Structure 1
Amino acid sequence: MSIDLETCRAIIAAVRAEGEARRLKPLTVAVLDAGGHVVAVEREDGASMSRFEIAFGKAYGALALGMGSRSLMARAEQQAYFVSAVGAAIGGALVPVPGGVLVRTADGELLGAVGVTGDSSDNDEAAAVAGVAAVGLVAQAE
């Protein structure tokens, strides 16, 4: 099973609503399926350049290593050479800071990942988690 377009759009809408409610800076949201393919992405007006690549890298890195990007950050702090090598191995698509969460069903099945960027990494992650929860799925941030 993989994540469908309508669910991805609903996640993005919920992430953006959370960002508005929290008065976050303009966000960019990328939703990938379990194979790392982009299903949907939106960049809010005023978002700075290269935000797609950052959102994608947060989500793709989470998928590549099977953990949320908060855990990737901790791993990078402990094993910098490993995380650097993984980033090189996957073409640089690895941004090991909070804001990338895995998307799972209640049973734990992996559906994809969401990457959010634009505000602080902690706020990006909070918006991603809220967006996933809004559609009845489970966000794995760690």
Structure 2
Amino acid sequence: MPEISITRARTMIRKAIQKGHELELKPLSVVVLDAGGHVKAFEREDGAAPGRFAIAQGKAYGAIMLGMAGTAQMARAEAQGYFMNAVNGLFGGQVIPVPGGVLVRDKRGVVIGAVGVTGDSSDNDAICAAFGIEAANLVSEI
């Protein structure tokens, strides 16, 4: 099974944070999960709240476990809140169904992980995650 190397995970984090600086966003926290939902790498910028790890992880974890990015999860939660509530119960409340949880695909389209970004608006978080993923020469699904 293809996986995200630590070098690519670090690139994704560095570039996501760089994009946040370019956009003059609030301090970001970025996590990279592998295809099994396990943490590959994480970084929290100076000034970011300490609880941001759990939020970033929840955004990325939902993307991996459901096979759908945060934007699609949010649409599903709005249309079928009962479904997302049930799913979140199954996963111990670890799913945060909002933009900022972005699937990582290889060039063949295989999901190999997810990036979760938090710290600014969910839409801005998703932009930064996608930028980091694409900077690592992988494909993002917002």
Residue matched to 2:76: 75
Write the distance in 1 (CA, Å) between the matches of 2:20 and 2:10.
Answer: 15
> 2: CA distance between counterparts of 1:39 and 1:9?
9
Flag structure 1 segments of 5+ consecutive residues without an equivalent: none
Q: Once the 2 structures are TM-superposed, how far is the Cα of residue 110 of structure 1 from its aligned partner?
A: 1.2
C-alpha distance in 2 between matches for 1:84 and 1:136: 34
Q: Secondary structure at the match of 1:102?
A: strand
Identify the residue that residue 7 of structure 1 maps to in structure 2: 8
Report the alpha carbon displacement of residue 49 of structure 1 after superposing the two structures with TM. Answer: 3.0
- C-alpha distance after superposition, 1:81-136 (max 9, x if no partner): 11011011011110011000000012101110000000000100000010001111
Match of 1:57 in 2: 58
Query: In structure 1, how many angstroms separate the alpha carbons of the residues matched to 2:91 and 2:3?
Result: 21
Identity of aligned residues (%): 55
Gaps of 5+ in 2: none
Counterpart residue number, 2:87 = 86
RMSD value over aligned CA atoms? 0.6
Dislocated runs of 4+, deviation >3 Å:
none
> What is residue 32 of structure 2 aligned with on the other side?
31
* Offset of residue 50 of structure 1: 1.1
Q: Which residue number corresponds to residue 130 of structure 2?
A: 129
CA distance in structure 2 between the partners assigned to 1:63 and 1:134 by the alignment: 20
Normalising by structure 2, we get a TM-score of 0.97
Question: What is the rounded CA distance, in whole Å, between the counterparts of 1:138 and 1:113 in structure 2?
Answer: 11
Distance 1:30 1:113 in 2: 8
Deviations 1:49-101 (A, max 9, x none): 31000000000000111010010000000110110110110111100110000
The 3-state SS of whatever aligns with 1:57 is helix
What amino acid does structure 2 have at the position aligned with 1:38?
V
Report whether the alignment pairs 1:104 with 2:99: no
Letter in 2 for 1:58: K
Query: What secondary structure does 1:122 align onto?
Result: helix
> Aligned equivalents of 1:84 and 1:49: distance in 2?
25
